[in-house]
Chains A and B, each alone.
Chain A
Amino acid sequence: MAQMTLLQAVNNGLATEMERDDRVIVFGEDVGVNGGVFRATEGLQAKFGEERAFSTPLTETGIVGAAIGMAVYGLKPVPEIQFADFIYPAFDQIVSELAKFRYRSGGEFTTPVVIRTPYGGGIRGGLYHSQSPEAYFAHTPGLKVVIPSTPYDAKGLLADAIRGEDPVIFMEPKKIYRSAKGEVPEADYTVPIGPARVVQEGTDLSIFCYGAMVEACTVAAEKAKEKEGLSIEIIDLRTLYPVDEEAILKSVKKTGRALIVYEAPKTCGYGAEIAALIAEKAIEYLEAPVKRVGGFDIPFPYTLEKIYVPDAIRIFLGIQEVMDFK
């Protein structure tokens, strides 16, 4: 075991998968000699050569479209979209093509492409280097959407995504790229796509979150314990589609109170799906209305980022509100 940051775990995960399967190739803007703008692909070109790790022209639709063609041929492409904010030119390729290839061809052609992309706030990136577009993809049948929050999960989930046969949007919380540290095995292993992770058990209220919000929720739960003596359960969803319904329902049935936390604009954000799921399948267990703490319904601001992204303070206030309901 080695200590790694989430970023190092992604890098190590890519190298591990490239080592064990020569179908795996990585590419994207500045991915080659530069190792990506965040260095997630650092050293891969030196180790595996220019054919397997390379920089592409600046066309996201080209990057994803070419990956689809490679997958049809039998490779396992892992393209990088430099920032999730730049994924929209490729949206057509992802939604119209990647997600539907297996279905529309009656299973004749499959496109196991894993698109890696850093997302979310936390790096003072303003409108176009901070977005969280996960809901668009979770809404699209044919895609899996995965978001790790720990180095161990990052490597393991990435491995499972690459070894699988479905297209995966693999979103990396760039705020914690370097701050999230943990033990990561050097050897290869997988963390299965699907199951959520119980970050901490509790009995008074359940928080459902993912990505960089897990850390903020943990701090808020700590404060709630300290100040109000509350026992908070935190569930890191890890996979947004297919989501772990069982884990969500089990937790909310136990605590009777649910708070959902995500960075993206609140309206029609992924948290709405979790709220609806709880309303459909566990409403009789609730002791208070479900609450969502999301980003505001505005574009992501630059200077005021610190008050835009949900933090431990806003999450703490959310916990109080749900707990205060009588």
Chain B
Amino acid sequence: MSDNLLQVIKDNAKSAKLPPGLEEADIKRMYEGMVMIRAYDERQKKLQRSGRIGFCVTSTGEEAVQVGTAHALQENDWVFPYYRQYGVLLYRGVPMEVLSNHLYGNETDLAKGRQMPAHYTHKDTKFVSFSSVIGTHLIHAVGCAMAAKYRRDNCAVVTYIGDGGTSSNDFHSSLTFAGVYKPPVVLFIVNNQYAISLPVDKQCGAETLHLKGAGYGVPAVRVDGNDVFAVYQAAKEAYGRARSGEGPTLVELLTYRAGPHSSSDDPTRYRGNESDQWQSKDPIERAKRFMQQLGIWSEEYEQEIWEQARFKINTATNESEKYPEPSWASMFDDVYAEMPPALAAQRDEFLEKEAGLDRANEGEFPL
């Protein structure tokens, strides 16, 4: 890794001291936050493989990105995520059920069963709904930050994009607007080395992705994204710049997508053995070593937090499974503030003619 890469964890050190601004309790909380994400991913995979949920996106290997950036957030801050930042939701204290209800797309899902799993939305924590189109949400974050600046509100607007997303139209429009208007926005490039099957060296001809900031006049830094304390430090500094009116920051977080793109992807088709070398850079293992260096980690502690995490997750997913799917009528809601008459007519006609004509069993023709 290059010399200008921000790192806090020294993997081979015998001892360590607390990073600036972090207490022992913070270290533990961050570690537990990462464990929670990994345990959630374990559960998601099982549910998907057994057919209990239709689809899932995991973020194995990218836990430090989520927890490091989340730990520095304040209550007023906004988050414009993509698929692999649900750990931010958990870290901000959103109940596990909120996430698991979305996995099931049941009647209590905040997205009302309208989006594929992994498209979380949560207004109370300013975690903004996103689409599956890559890059489009970045400019929303920039616009949101422009609005916050107009309102003289003290907050940071945080957004994330993958390495593939840096090629999208709206990466360009976002950096253009961010550079010109200097709103309080922090853009994280989560460089996990792959956009589905395409490796980053075939995604972009530049040596690093953070170089892209310079062309737009947006200050940029490059951080070891598997070092949760380095991520935190970079995030804290960037959010601070945002909140104090110093404008946008682009932060490239170097990490590795240890799992597939999604449950529909098979990485053996395009990936060699290089994942082996990343195993040693597993963000959870590295944080654990750091805690060992600090003398605040034990086997009992490890076992306890994993058990707690799994219990919490299993309880929530079991509960989510009990809820029915959203009502058929609800499919027509929320297209407009008030339903137009022609849409209401479509709904009423459909319900009148087809109520009870279920399609639960494939091939069955109920008429």
Mutual binders A and B: yes
Q: How far is the CA of A71 from the CA of B123 in the complex (A)?
A: 14
Q: Does A10 lie at the interface of the complex (its beta carbon under 8 Å from any beta carbon of B)?
A: no
- The answer to whether B144 touches A73 (Cβ under 8 A) is yes
Nearest B-chain residue to A62, judged by Cβ: B173
In A129-150, which residues have CB < 8 Å from any B CB? Answer: 141-142, 144
- The answer to whether B114 touches A103 (Cβ under 8 A) is yes
Q: How far is the CA of A52 from the CA of B335 in the complex (A)?
A: 29
Nearest A-chain residue to B179, judged by Cβ: A57
Main secondary structure, interface of B, reads helix
Q: Does B174 lie at the interface of the complex (its beta carbon under 8 Å from any beta carbon of A)?
A: yes
Interface stretch among B42-50, B87-95, B145-153, B313-321?
B145-153
Count, chain B residues at interface, CB 8 A: 48
For B112, list chain A residues within 8 Å (CB): 106-107
Question: Which residues does A use to contact B, with CB under 8 Å?
Answer: 25, 51-52, 56-57, 59, 61-62, 65-75, 77, 89, 92-93, 96-97, 100-110, 141-142, 144, 164-166, 194, 241-243, 245
Known: A108-B121, A194-B340. 13 other contacts (CB 8 A): A52-B150, A65-B143, A66-B142, A66-B173, A66-B177, A69-B80, A69-B144, A70-B143, A101-B129, A105-B121, A241-B340, A242-B342, A245-B342
For B176, list chain A residues within 8 Å (CB): 57, 59, 62
- B170's partner among A62, A77, A107 (CB-CB below 8 A) is A62
- The answer to whether A74 touches B177 (Cβ under 8 A) is no
- The answer to whether A92 touches B169 (Cβ under 8 A) is yes
A to B CB contacts below 8 Å, 28 in the list: A56-B180, A57-B176, A59-B172, A62-B139, A65-B138, A65-B142, A65-B170, A66-B142, A66-B173, A68-B143, A70-B146, A72-B140, A73-B78, A73-B143, A73-B147, A77-B143, A96-B133, A104-B111, A104-B114, A105-B111, A105-B128, A106-B114, A108-B122, A108-B129, A242-B340, A242-B341, A242-B342, A245-B341
Nearest B-chain residue to A141, judged by Cβ: B335
Nearest B-chain residue to A65, judged by Cβ: B139
Q: Does B304 lie at the interface of the complex (its beta carbon under 8 Å from any beta carbon of A)?
A: no
Q: Does B334 lie at the interface of the complex (its beta carbon under 8 Å from any beta carbon of A)?
A: yes
- B129's partner among A69, A92, A109 (CB-CB below 8 A) is A109
For B341, list chain A residues within 8 Å (CB): 242, 245
- The answer to whether B136 touches A92 (Cβ under 8 A) is yes
- The answer to whether A104 touches B131 (Cβ under 8 A) is yes
For B129, list chain A residues within 8 Å (CB): 101, 104-105, 108-109
**4 shortest interchain CB distances as A-B pairs:** A69-B143, A65-B139, A62-B173, A66-B143
Q: Does B337 lie at the interface of the complex (its beta carbon under 8 Å from any beta carbon of A)?
A: yes
Q: Does B237 lie at the interface of the complex (its beta carbon under 8 Å from any beta carbon of A)?
A: no
